[in-house]
Every structure is written in C-alpha cells, then in structure tokens.
Amino acid sequence: MKKRTSTYILVILIMSFLSCKSQEKKQTELPKTPKSFKILDETEGDLDKDGVSEKVIVYDTEKETDLGTERQIFIYKKKYDKWELWKKSVGAILPSQHGGMMGDPFEGISIERNCIVISHFGGSRHKWNYTHRFRFQSGEFQLIGATVNFGSPCDYFFTFDYNLSNGKINYVKETEDCESKNSNIEKEEMIRKLENLPTMNGFYPGNTKLKFPKSETTIYY
C-alpha cells in the first residue's frame, strides 16, 4: 500500500513539474524570428507604465545598405500569455559598418525608467559614443534624451547632453596639449525646446544638426 501511495505521489510531482515547464515555455514563447533576421540583443521592461513588462528585440535584417546591414527594433506586448508585435522601428540602430574601423557600432539596448536606451560606439582616431533615450508618449516612442561624447587623446574631448523634454542643453569641451601638458575647458548652455520631438521610427543617430547661437560649435546627435 505504501509503495502504491509513493508511486502516486511521484506521478503527481512529475506531472506538476511538466505542467509548470509547459506553462513557462508558453509564457516566454515568441513569434518566430522573421526570415533571414538575426537577433542582436533583447531586453524586457515596462515601457507604458501599466505594470507589465514588454520585450524589445534588435534584429539584424541582412538587408544591405551603403554602410552595412540594416537593423530593426521589434517591441512585443504580452497578451493572454503570448507575445504579440506592438511597435516596429527602423533607423534608430545604426547599420553594421557605420562604426568605421571600430566595426559594428551597436553596443546594446536596455530599458531604464520606462525608457528605451540605445548605445553606439565607433570612429577611428577620434572616437564617438551616442546614447539615445526614447519614451512612449502620445502614442509613439519619442526621443527625450541624447548624449554625445567625441574626441581623441592629446587633441580634444567634448560631451554634449540634450534633455529634449525640457530643452536644456549642456556642452563641455576640453582641449588637451600633451606636449605642454596644458588643457583648456569650454562650457556652453542653452535652452532649445522642439515643437515636435523626433520619433524612434525613422530617427538616425548622428544625423540631426544643432548649432549654438553666436558660436562656431555645431553638434550632430
């Protein structure tokens, strides 16, 4: 009798385990990766402040452009324990050869404070780094922050930080002379609020020009 009871308990435990694994697989199951696409990075987090995480996947499409292969962002929402495509974006991830001698410029994607954060890095002697932040508002993912770092040793470095939500811009440039061991720091600030914020779909990092008034300083973010 004890042996039969033990067998029943073992069967129940096995069935419970298989049921849990099946449910887990169902909850995390994604639609098939589009044909010829390759996953570069993915992350999860709440993007629309509804308390439920979305999934963001960056795909390499293998579609050739002038600077390598095109990338796309797919954003999925969970509905009835299944992931469904919610939003799609082309342009916010640079092509595979845009990094110059540094190779692929895409560093990664993350979700921070309900925003999608995209990082790029590239260059040759002068290195550059872009960080762009997109927040879901007015039915679209809009650019709310851009940070650019650019420069090289024994020449100059600058940091440009633009909060598009309030229009505040900070720019700091340090010129460095390694022979004389001297350096000089310049700072500029201004407010520039845009009537319409750029949307993630169609935005191209480093392709938007901003010129400081009464200055020769021009930034591309």
Residues 6+ apart with CB under 8 A from 44: 53, 54, 55, 56, 111
pLDDT > 70 fraction of the chain, expressed in percent and rounded: 86
- pLDDT for 63 equals 95
Backbone angles phi, psi at 15, to 5 degrees: -65, -40
Number of folded domains that form the chain = 1
Length, in residues, of the chain: 221
pLDDT at 13 over 70: no
**22 domain residue, yes or no:** no
**23 domain residue, yes or no:** no
pLDDT at 2 over 70: no
Domain that holds residue 143: 30-220
**11 domain residue, yes or no:** no
φ/ψ region of 51 (left if φ > 0, alpha if ψ in -120 to 50, else beta) reads: left
**203 domain residue, yes or no:** yes
- pLDDT for 26 equals 47
164 in Cβ contact with 146 (< 8 Å): yes
pLDDT at 198 over 50: yes
**167 domain residue, yes or no:** yes
**51 domain residue, yes or no:** yes
